[in-house]
Amino acid sequence: MAIRSDLRNIAIVAHVDHGKTTLVDQMLWQAGAFGDHVGRDAQTERVMDSGDLEREKGITILAKNTAVTYRGAEATKRGFDDGVTINVIDTPGHADFGGEVERGLSMVDGVLLLVDAAEGPLPQTRFVLRKSLIAQLPIIVVINKVDRPDARIAEVESETIDLLLSLADDLSGEGVDVDLDSLLEVPVLYASAKAGAASSSAPANGAVPEGDFTELFGTILDAIPGPHYDEDAPLQAHVTNLDASPFLGRLALVRIHNGTLRKGQQVAWVRHDGSTQQVKVTELLVTEGLERMPAEEAHAGDIVAVAGIPDITIGESLVDPDDPRPLELITVDDPAISMTIGINTSPLAGRVKGAKVTARQVKDRLDRELIGNVSLRVLPTERPDAWEVQGRGELALAILIEQMRREGFELTAGKPQVVTRTINGKTHEPMEHTTVDVPEEHMGTVTQLMAERKGRMLSVTNHGTGWVRLEFLVPARGLIGFRTQFLTETRGTGIATSIAAGWEPWCGPIQRRKTGSLVSDRAGKATPYAMIQLQERGSFLIQPASEVYEGQVVGENPRGEDMDVNITREKKQTNMRSATAETWEGLVPPRTLTLEESLEFAADDECVEVTPEAIRIRKVILDQTERFKEAAKRRRAARD
């Protein structure tokens, strides 16, 4: 086997909000991808988070790659006078986008793991580490945010090493070969990505490390091997991602494992079903910084974009037509959450000019999403205008719906449900390992919340800072609607994260929302007069003068039952004048729910209407009489 010494392929992995994108941003600047990195424009921060939703939510949703040519002192010291090319994959940190992480790991030869110096290893840290060890990738640990005033550098380093060894022991028991000696010698760096500094020497807690990223680049060159390849093997290239160009059409991002890929070359395209078709590479692009530049050829180890194959999808291979040797398909974990997505069937459907409202348009959009999202599944339902969409979690499905909403689609989204499977004749459901960080005074409240949702406490850790870390094993369906109630009970101070933890037998019924809904019993416009009269019955979710329809959820009833209300009632007109007739200061401002909060809030017999201009919660059965009949039918079935 030969090695390319002038190339490094690494993935940046971590739990959400531990600083991956900021670190990549600094690496780009200090490697000279944008010229002098001193005095840079603040608008270019987080250059890898290019999507609107990514910038709004402050998270990475899609795995992206960039490349820099490092020509600094560490490269010169090792004899690379022309520099070393470093391909960097920035992966999401949220567990719902785990498919992006798995895909990113298939492209690289090593992993740079970030861990927050105060929070330490969290569920997603365990997830990405496990995937890295299974792939037998070398690891560099970076303790980030060491300049936080609550940093626990020594403890977090110890926790991370313990996690590595624990995972290695678990995998060894499963038959996975893990080199324990190499894990004991994992390089550890201490960094402040925001300040652009990293050092192999631990600074004092709360202090910024000296210098810049020179030691980080040196460690990457030493600890991450160059790509291995067989000089005698034919072409083998794996499609790991997709992109699009307005001029070139679909672009396939491929990692070349063996051989050489040239512009204009005739190659064999091996599909998922094993069939082979000969195609021509019309354009070959290499990444430099954030730009793709034309190239004549690329070699083993390179990550390049290929144009000319309009229907190619993730996991397929490009091989030598005379000696085809396809690579294995990319496999991801099974989905855990499902949601029914269909056309908008409310009385207000089609009011938005230019909105996409037909079943064909919705299905085409879902099919396009399947091309680039390997962790998503779309299944038919009994209705021809609705489909069951399965994904890793609520957030991943909510992001898909939000993207479709911004593209002009009108939808009806059902309440999230768990995906079950039958094992040895028994129904099993997905479990989640949930980590909760809360102030000490909220510990009892959180424990009670989790107990109501069939959660089992695994551990309690008090770091002596006034905060407690609680770990639970809880059914995935117990976390549906948990976030809103959790933030309310902890007054917005709690932090909860979770990761898939396998399957267990069905845990029995779980009580959902304890409150009921205020449901409009007729169509019209909500009047302030009616809302003032009704606000003692509950809180509202709509603004005064909003158009409503029968069956729309307009508020929350503190009692655990639904209440049909007339929210369109107007004040009777008289010939008497009143000084307070038009005074509405007594109206309590309504709650405005986001899409994610609406999906969590919806009860089992409710769904969410999504349009480019509004998000409404409604009953699945709009007619009040039909709803009563259906409820009576369910009660009779339960008695029988």
- Residue ranges matching CATH 3.30.70.870 in the chain: 337-418
pLDDT of the residue at 576: 59
Q: State residue 577's pLDDT score.
A: 55
Q: Say if residue 19 carries a ligand binding annotation.
A: yes
Q: Which range is least confidently modeled, 179-183, 446-450, 606-610? A: 179-183
**What are the CB-based long-range contacts (under 8 Å, 24+) for 482-487?**
482/449, 482/453, 482/600, 483/596, 483/600, 484/597, 484/600, 484/601, 485/449, 486/436, 486/446, 486/449
Q: Is 363 annotated as a binding residue?
A: no
C-alpha triplet 214, 219, 221: angle, nearest 5°: 100
Per-residue pLDDT for 40 more than 50? no
* CB half-sphere exposure, 204, CA atoms < 13 A: 1
Residues of the chain with CATH 2.40.30.10: 236-319
- Which of these CATH numbers, 3.90.1010.10, 3.40.366.30, 3.30.70.1380, 2.40.30.10, describes 236-319? 2.40.30.10
Burial degree of 317 (CB within 10 A; 0-12, 13-18, 19+): buried
Q: Look at domain 425-505 and name its CATH class.
A: alpha beta
CA distance 97 to 531: 41
What is the location of CATH 2.40.50.250 in the chain?
Answer: 516-573+580-639
Which overall architecture, per CATH, does domain 516-573+580-639 show? Beta Barrel (2.40)
Q: What pLDDT is recorded for position 212?
A: 86
CATH architecture of the domain with residue range 2-225: 3-Layer(aba) Sandwich (3.40)
Angle at 36 between CA 34 and CA 42, to 5 degrees: 70
Range(s) of the chain covered by CATH 3.40.50.300: 2-225
Q: Is 146 annotated as a binding residue?
A: yes
Q: Is 575 annotated as a binding residue?
A: no
Phi and psi at 391, nearest 5°, equal: -150, -175
C-alpha closest to that of 119 among 459, 469, 473? 469
Calculate mean pLDDT across residues 500-509.
86
pLDDT tens sequence across 392-451: 778 788 888 988 999 999 999 998 888 888 888 899 998 888 888 888 888 999 999 999
- Establish whether 145 is an annotated binding residue: yes
CATH code for 337-418?
3.30.70.870
The pLDDT assigned to 513 comes to 76
Annotated binding residue 18: yes
For helices 214-223 and 20-30, give the axis angle rounded to 10 degrees: 100
**Tens-digit pLDDT profile for residues 558-604:** 888 889 999 998 887 766 555 455 456 678 888 888 888 888 888 88
- Rounded to whole angstroms, how far apart are CA atoms 548 and 554? 8
The answer to whether the annotation marks 323 as part of a ligand binding site is no
571 in a labelled binding site: no
Q: How many Å apart are CA 278 and CA 319, to the nearest integer?
A: 10
Instruction: List every span in the chain annotated with CATH 3.30.70.240.
Output: 425-505
434 marked ligand binding residue: no
Q: Residue 280 — very low, low, confident or very high, per pLDDT cuts 50/70/90?
A: very high
Query: What does the alpha-carbon distance between residue 106 and residue 102 come to, in Å, rounded to a whole number?
Result: 7
pTM of the full predicted structure? 0.74
pLDDT at 37: 45
